[in-house]
Amino acid sequence: MKLRCSAIISKIIRLSLQVSTSRRTTNKIHSFSFQPAGFHIFVYLYQPKLPIMKKILCGLLACTLSLTACSDEEGAYLLQRSDITLFAPQGSFVAQVGKPFCIKVKSVSDEGLSYRWYNGNHLIAQTKDLEYTFLQKGQYHLKLVVTQGERSFEYAAVVEVKGEGDAPSDKSSPYITRVLDYRPAPGQFVNELPTYQEGDTQEDINRKVLDAIGNNNMGTISLGGYGGYVIVGFDHTLRNVAGKRDFRILGNAFEGNGNAQLPEGNAEPGIIMVSEDSNRNGIADDEWYEIAGSAHRDPQGESWIDLAKAAGNDVNLYMEYAITYHRPHKEPETAEDFSHYIRWEDNQGHSGFRKKNSYHAQPYFPQWITDDQLTFQGTCLPQNGIDYNGDGSYFVNYKMRYGYADNVANNNKEATIDIDWAVDAQGKSVQLAGIDFIKIYTGVNQENGWIGECSTEITGIEDLHILKEDINSEVP
C-alpha cells in the first residue's frame, strides 16, 4: 500500500494511519519536515505473524486505511533564531549587587515555546523574562535557551554586576541621556521652549526636550508655572558620595546687574526630586524623595523674607499643595481677556489667572496635552518675587540659600546638590547609595507683573563625580 502527499517546504505535516480489524485498532502518527525534493511515503503494516496485505488478498481479514490528515498545517508558527530579541529595560546590562535585575525577551510568537535561563551551567529560571538578583559583583555570562518541539536556539547575555559605590564605567555620560516625561504647567514660554508643532505627540515633545537639555546640548526648556515638571534619566546610576555635592542642575538664573544688595537678580526656584531604580525596570515607578533645600528646613530664615512680607507676598511653605489649571475656551483678544487668560485654583482657598503678555503670542496651555484641566501636587515655596521699586518697573526674584534648580547662576556652588539632602514624604532623611532619575518642578506660584509668572527653566544636569569635580557639601 502506498500514500502520496504534497506539502510546502519547511512546513510540518502529520499523517494519521488507522487500521481497523476484528481484533483491535492500531494507530501510528508520523511527522515529517519536507525538503525541496519531492518524495513518496511508503507505509507497511504488519500483524505479529502475517502481513496485513497478505490477509487482505486472502480474504481472511477486512482492513480499512484512512488518511485523517495530510496538510501543511497552514498558519502554524515555526520558531526562527531571529524571532527572539533580548533587551534590558534599564538601558544597559549593568546590575548592582543585591538589587533585582531584569532582562526582557521580545518574541514574534510564544506558540509552543519554552524558556530556560542559565548562569553558566546552572539553571536559574524557566520564565520568558528574567528577574534575578546577583549577590556578588563580577561579569556573568547568561544563556537563554528557547525551545519549540525539537527546535532550539541559544542566546547569550553578558551582565556586569557592580558593588555598591563602584564608579560608573569610563564610557558613562555625565549628562542627561533620557527624558521620561515632560508636563509643563501653563506659562509664557510653554510651546516655545521647546517648540510645539501641530501634531506633536508626548513622545515627540520628550524627544525635543532631550535634544535641548540632554548630552550637554545646553538648550533651554521651561516648566511653566507652579507644578510643571520634567523627569530625566542617565546611562548610569549617579553615586551618592558622602560629604560631597553629587550633581549640578543648570538653569538661567542671573546676577542682579552688579547691585551688591541683589546678588541674584532672577531666581525661579524649582524643587528637585530623586529616585533610585530599585526594581531595575528602567521606569521611574519607584519611590520619589524630595531634596529638602533651605526653604524646606527654615523658610523664615531666607534673607529676603521680611521684604516679601512687607510686599504682601504669601511667605508660607505648603507641604501638600495642589493646583488645577483650566484650558481657556479661546485665545485672548481684549485687555481683560489677557489678564483673565488661564484660570486656576488651589487647595488653600486661593484662585486667580495665569495672565498673557504681549511678548509671547502663542498659546500658554501645552498643546499636545488633550486634558481640559491640569492638576499638580507638591511642595509650594514662599513667594520670592518682589516689586523692588514699588512702581512695577523692576521685579527681583530673590534666591533661596541652597537646594533648588534655576535658583543661582550656574557657576555658583549652590547650583550643585547633595543626594544626602533627600527626605521622604514625612520629611525624614533617607540614605540612598545612588539615584537613577531626577524630577524637577516649578516651586513657586506667583505672577510678577510684566515679567510674567515664576517659571523654572532648565538647561542641563551634570554628574559631578564623572566630571571629577570635588565640591564639599557644607551649606551656607
pLDDT at 474: 94
Same domain, 240 and 274: yes
| Domain assignment present for 282 | yes
368 in any annotated domain: yes
pLDDT at 167: 58
Residue whose grid cell is 569610563:
170
**293 shares its domain with 184:** yes
Same domain, 203 and 352: yes
**Residue 154's beta-bridge partner residues?**
145
- pLDDT value of residue 310: 95
The pLDDT, as a whole number, for residue 245 is 98
Closest CA to 274 of 224, 323, 232, 317: 232
Which of 24, 41, 67 finishes a domain?
67
429 DSSP 8-state letter: B
The model carries a pTM of 0.68
Q: Give the mean pLDDT of 273-295.
A: 93
Same-domain check for residues 86 and 32: no
pLDDT, average across residues 23-36: 40
The answer to whether residues 55 and 196 belong to one domain is: no
Instruction: Kindly list the distances between the CA atom of residue 161 and the CA atoms of 95, 166, 276, 330, 386, in Å, as whole numbers in the listed order.
Output: 5, 10, 17, 55, 52
Would you say residue 37 has pLDDT above 60? no
pLDDT value, residue 89: 75
How far apart CA 346 and CA 215 sit, in angstroms, is 36
Count of the separate structural domains present in the chain: 3
> Residue 472 falls within a domain, yes or no?
no
Shared domain check, 110 and 50: no
Residues 336 and 425 in one domain: yes
Residues 342 and 376 grouped into a single domain: yes
| Helical H segments across 65-220, by residue range | 202-213
Within a domain: residue 28?
yes
Length of the chain: 476
Among 21, 40, 67, the domain-final residue is 67
Across all residues in the chain, what is the average pLDDT? Answer: 84
pLDDT given at position 60 = 32
Residue 440 β-bridge partners:
230, 272
The answer to whether position 397 is within a domain reads yes
Identity at 266, one-letter amino acid code: N
In whole angstroms, what is the distance from residue 262 CA to residue 255 CA?
8
User: Are residues 344 and 389 located together in one domain of the fold?
Assistant: yes
Find the domain containing 34 and state its range: 2-67
168 lies in a domain? no
Residue 97 sits in the same domain as residue 30: no
Please indicate, yes or no, if residue 141 is contained in any of the structural domains. Answer: yes
Phi-psi region of 443 (alpha: psi -120 to 50; beta: other; left: phi over 0): alpha
- Whether 278 maps to a domain, the answer reads yes
Residue 287 in 3-state DSSP?
coil
Same domain, 125 and 24: no
User: pLDDT tens, 224-240?
Assistant: 999 999 999 999 999 99
Cis peptide before 194 (omega within 30 of 0): yes
Q: 379, 378, 412, 365: which is closest to 191 by C-alpha? A: 365
Question: Per-residue pLDDT tens for 244-280?
Answer: 999 999 999 986 665 555 545 789 999 999 999 988 7
pLDDT at 24 over 60: no
Out of 134, 162, 190, a domain closes at 162
Query: Domain check: are 48 and 95 in the same one?
Result: no
Q: Please, are residues 109 and 77 in contact by the beta-carbon 8 Å criterion? A: yes
| CATH code for the domain in which residue 130 is found | 2.60.40.10
